[in-house]
Amino acid sequence: MSGETNVQEVLAPMRDSRARRPGVAVVTGASSGIGRATVRALASAGMTVLGVARREGALARLVAEARPGGVEAVAADVTSARDRERIVRAVDGRPVAALVHGAGAFPRGLLATMPPAQWESAMRTNVDARLWLTLGLRTPLRGGRVLFVGSDASENCRHGGGAYSVSKAASAMLWRSLALELGDEIDFAIARPGLVETRMLDDSLSAPRDSFAAGEVYAAMHERGETITAETVASFFEWLLLDVPPEEFAAAPWDIREVGHHARWLHGPLFRGR
């Protein structure tokens, strides 16, 4: 028996232990932050990943740096029905093993003075698009997994973050409602990633404090080193999507900071500053 065969025999059960089914992954919010890191992690794990976002240049870079065929770019605005149809067409009849709802909008400002378009962008991106894209992919998702990127904001009300909090609370209830209605055909999970070092955090730290007092909370956490890298979040998501058994995946909300599951996926410190 050749050495190569021995290696294959050792690797086979490890591959089989991954709760993976054939098919592609669809990740929205793929042009930066958590979504981009998740695309890279899933592609490195061997999946074909359809990365969805509006910025074509950033998507093109993701495609170029991945192994050939590992990442397919879909330049699309998830709030547009026509663009969501293009996402479904890009799946092209393949099964969807995983759908990650990463695209997010965080308008900062007081509800009393916020332009209606900003409120609507939070609702359309963080709630409506997650519903309509899930339903658009319902057939290819049969037997697959949907992961909602959740947030502490769904429970915490912070000055200047009202639109985001309302949308994230609605998104969490959407996760529950879809799991109730479609849970026998698709596994649904929601996961909180903590405070993550992305463009969204940068924008929160630099937003004017008079209309976004919540920025102080994020600045204090940042000072204390309580932020998490997007790559660490992506490792968590990869584990949730590929390794966690189906019943456990969909059983309860996940939080990256709960230490009980760390031994199963985390290598190194969780927080940047510790």
As given in the structure block, the two tokens for residue 269 are: 């410190």
Beta strands in the chain (DSSP E): 24-28, 49-53, 71-75, 96-101, 145-149, 187-192, 195-196, 227-228, 254-255
Q: Least distance from C-beta 78 to ligand NAP, angstroms?
A: 4
Cβ closest to ligand NAP, residue 54 vs residue 61: 54
Q: Least distance from C-beta 165 to ligand NAP, angstroms?
A: 11
Q: Which helix (H) or strand (E) holds 133?
A: helix 129-136
Q: Which three-class secondary structure state does DSSP give residue 207?
A: coil
Q: Is 195 in the site for ligand NAP (CB under 6 A)?
A: yes
Catalytic residue selected from 148, 164, 175, 188: 164
Which amino acid belongs to residue 32? S
Measured on CA atoms in the order 70, 74, 79, 83, is the torsion positive or negative? negative
Residue pair 183/189 in contact (Cβ under 8 Å)? The answer is no
Q: Least distance from C-beta 136 to ligand NAP, angstroms?
A: 14
164 is catalytic: yes
Binding ligand NAP (rule: CB under 6 A), the pick from 55, 142, 209, 224 is 55
As given in the structure block, the two tokens for residue 100 are: 């990650």
Q: Least distance from C-beta 119 to ligand NAP, angstroms?
A: 15
Considering CB under 6 A, how many residues would be counted as binding ligand NAP?
Answer: 28
Cβ closest to ligand NAP, residue 62 vs residue 242: 62
Q: Looking only at residues 96 through 135 of this chain, which bind ligand NAP when binding is defined by CB under 6 A?
A: 102-105, 125
Q: Is 231 in the site for ligand NAP (CB under 6 A)?
A: no
Q: Least distance from C-beta 114 to ligand NAP, angstroms?
A: 17
d(CA 140, CA 96): 5
Q: Which three-class secondary structure state does DSSP give residue 128?
A: helix
Q: Is 74 in the site for ligand NAP (CB under 6 A)?
A: no
Q: Is 169 in the site for ligand NAP (CB under 6 A)?
A: no
Binding ligand NAP (rule: CB under 6 A), the pick from 33, 70, 144, 215 is 33
Q: Smallest Cα–Cα separation from 98: which of 66, 161, 51?
A: 51
Q: How many helices (H) and strands (E) does the chain have?
A: 12, 9
Q: Would you please indicate which residues are annotated as catalytic (active-site) residues?
A: 164
Residues contributing to the site for ligand NAP (CB under 6 A): 28-35, 53-55, 77-79, 102-105, 125, 149, 151, 193, 195-196, 198-201
